[in-house]
């Protein structure tokens, strides 16, 4: 602040159910974001696996342990 005036905020009065609704909206909004991040991770890992195959690096096979 150029003029030197300071503002102090002492209290915010927000009803409980309003905060609950905000948190519900945030959680619903995070679902598409997580889907996009997962798709991006899949694409990047597929590209990295393809690049490793092109340069001759072979990934070891994963063997499942025998079932008793």
pTM of the predicted protein model = 0.53
pLDDT at 52: 67
Per-residue pLDDT of the chain (68 residues; tens, 9 = 90+): 566 788 888 888 999 999 999 999 999 999 999 999 999 998 888 887 776 666 666 667 777 888 77
pLDDT at 4: 75
* Degrees, nearest 5: CA angle 41-42-43: 90
Category of 46 on φ-ψ map: left (φ > 0), alpha (ψ -120 to 50) or beta: alpha
20 and 10 Cβ atoms separated by less than 8 Å? no
């Amino acid at each position: 602040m150029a003029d030197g005036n300071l503002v102090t905020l002492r209290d915010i009065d927000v009803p409980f159910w309003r905060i609950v609704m905000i948190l519900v909206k945030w959680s619903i909004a995070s679902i598409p974001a997580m889907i996009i991040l997962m798709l991006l991770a899949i694409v990047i890992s597929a590209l990295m696996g393809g690049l490793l195959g092109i340069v001759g690096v072979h990934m070891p096979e994963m063997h499942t342990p025998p079932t008793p």
